[in-house]
Amino acid sequence: MKRIYSQLIALLLVGNNWVQAQQAHVNLDWNPQKNTQNLLPFGASVISPEVRDDHTVTFRLKAPDARAVLLTGGPMLLALKAKDPIPFQKSDDGLWSLTVGPLKPDMYVYKFIIDGVQVVDPNNTLTGFNDQPGYSNLVVQGDGPAYYDAKPVPHGAVTRHIYHSDVLNGEREMYVYTPPGYTPKKKYPVLYLMGGSGELASGWALDGRANFIADNLIAEGKMVPMLIAMPNNQVVHRNDPAHTEKTFPLLEEELKKQVIPLIDKSYSTRADRKGRALAGLSMGGRHTQLVGLKNLDLFSAFGVLSAGDLETEKVSAAFLNDPAANRKVDYLLVGQGTGEVETIGKRAVALHEALQKHTIKHDYYVGGEGAHDWGTWRHLLYYKLLPNLWR
């Protein structure tokens, strides 16, 4: 079953600094229709978030009976250089509000804390669901389209595949990006791109904007046209006490018996190790390391994003001690955001140092202004991973 999946995010801008409406999903352009009438979002009670041209942002919540409302969310607090959730102020009519910024143009994840309970912004339709609880997205636009925006360039397509997995005994989903001008007369390399813990297969398209990023890179002549297969790499409950022992062999089997055969059957691919790359963020990065580097007969390029293993010398011993590793690997990226080096990023550092010790060529990169979030992963995809594959 195939279905073109084209739902992605837009933000409405208004041409003055004192009033700007919230998203109405009219266009995907970086600067869509302006809400000069200052209309409320459909079904909302107030405008929240309100993004001004000076990049300050006001959040609002109508909650007369609430005792305390705070703004939280790792990417949001990092951008504001705040260590703790930020309190709202309540007016006599029960309206809570908070103005922050200015913020650098980007996309930010945030949540509200209402009387101790984390919730999405109920007036913002840009919500994500790859986390518990869900989260809201704030988009602060710059003076022109960002590298992850839908620009007026040729666009590829994202197809949703539903397939039965004999490995996992159930119906599964996978999203596949085909580049502009895709034709079965040509053989394309394939990047298998995976998400992190608890995320759905749609994460890289919706939050990661992988298809827009690829469209823009191809239009700029900075990327080899390729397929991007985005499978669901959740193969066992994330809180299973034996998750670590179960997930790697199950994912390996799912890739070999279900995912790769489906792609090679459905598309015109370069069906050999030289035509396949494996990459992922967070848990998907560990899958890349512990499954991908173990299967050099299947893949020749890798991207370990915001991931690694503190015991890399142990878990990747066979790869590290393979005297032919540098001949077998065409490209290996170990990357992370500047805001995570001292925390979860220590795993990426451990992997980088182990690769250095064993003189295995790789690209180690710390960049962007994000932490363990989509701001980092979009950045790594655009600036490092996609431009360097099959070059």
What does the DSSP assignment read for 122-190?
TT---EE-SSSS-EEEEEE--SS--TTS--SS---EEEEEEEEETTTTEEEEEEEEE-TT--TTS-B-E
Domain range annotation of the chain: 2-140, 157-388
Mention every residue, 6+ apart, whose C-beta is less than 8 A from residue 190.
Answer: 226, 227, 228, 229, 263, 267, 269, 270, 275, 276, 277
| 289, 215, 337, 249 alpha-carbon torsion, rounded to 10° | -20
Q: Given this model, what pLDDT does residue 143 score? A: 85
Q: Are 104 and 79 in contact (CB under 8 A)?
A: yes
Whether residue 148 has pLDDT greater than 60: yes
Q: Select from 2.60.40.1120, 3.40.50.300, 3.40.1390.10, 2.60.40.10 the CATH code of 2-140.
A: 2.60.40.10
CA–CA dist 34, 15 (Å, integer): 7
Cβ within 8 Å of residue 239, ≥6 positions away: none
**Residue 113 — pLDDT band, cuts 50, 70, 90?**
very high
| Confidence bin at 245 (pLDDT 50/70/90) | confident
| pLDDT attached to residue 262 | 97
Question: What's the topology of domain 157-388?
Answer: Rossmann fold (3.40.50)
Q: What is the pLDDT of residues 4-28, one digit of tens each?
A: 333 333 333 333 343 444 456 677 7
**pLDDT at site 33:** 63
Q: Are 284 and 233 in contact (CB under 8 A)?
A: yes
Q: What percent of the chain has pLDDT over 70?
A: 92
The answer to whether residue 1 scores a pLDDT higher than 50 is no
Rounded CA gap, 391 and 385, in Å? 11
Mean pLDDT lowest for which of 60-69, 149-158, 198-207? 198-207
DSSP H or E segment with residue 333: strand 331-337
Distances (CA, A) of 135 to 9, 129, 156, 163: 14, 7, 28, 29
C-alpha distances (whole Å) from 17 to each of 21, 54, 102, 249 are 11, 6, 12, 54
pLDDT reported for residue 14: 33
Q: Which residue has tokens 């590298």?
A: 147
d(CA 60, CA 69): 10
Residue 29 token pair: 């352009």
- Is the pLDDT confidence value at 278 over 80? yes
The pLDDT assigned to 134 comes to 84
Q: Identify the pLDDT of residue 32.
A: 63
What does the pLDDT look like over 181-222, one tens digit per residue?
A: 999 999 999 999 999 988 889 999 999 999 999 999 999 999
Give residue 198's pLDDT. 82
Band (pLDDT 50/70/90 cuts) for residue 115 is very high
- Beta carbons of 172 and 257 less than 8 angstroms apart: no
Beta partners for residue 42, in sequence order:
none
Output the pLDDT for position 5: 35
